[in-house]
Amino acid sequence: MISAESEARKALNRLRRAVEKSEREIEGLRAALQHAEGEDFPVDEYDGIEARLAEVRDFCDEEGRRLQEKILHAGGLEPGRTRRG
């Protein structure tokens, strides 16, 4: 049986990959349009969407840390007591 924690990790990883892909696509779109539009390009709008995507990426990172701490705690380990490789 698949655990809720496993499903949460998978969903979080899918979301993070989707955000990373969105960031790459926005960068590509920005490069193409900025070159084509020159001074008419809406820099502030693109900066804003990139900042919002970064917030979602940061959210994914924080949720990943929080989930890991819950899993460690449920397994009887204290967060911070394990070494990272």
| Tokens matching residue 63 | 């949720």
pLDDT band at 68 (very low <50, low <70, confident <90, very high): confident
The pTM is what? 0.76
Cα–Cα nearest to 29, from 59, 49, 52: 49
| Tokens matching residue 17 | 């990959």
With a cut of 90, say whether residue 83 has pLDDT above it: no
Long-range contacts of 5-11 (CB under 8 A, 24+ apart): 5/67, 5/70, 5/71, 5/74, 8/67, 9/64, 9/67
How confident is the model over 74-84, as a mean pLDDT?
61
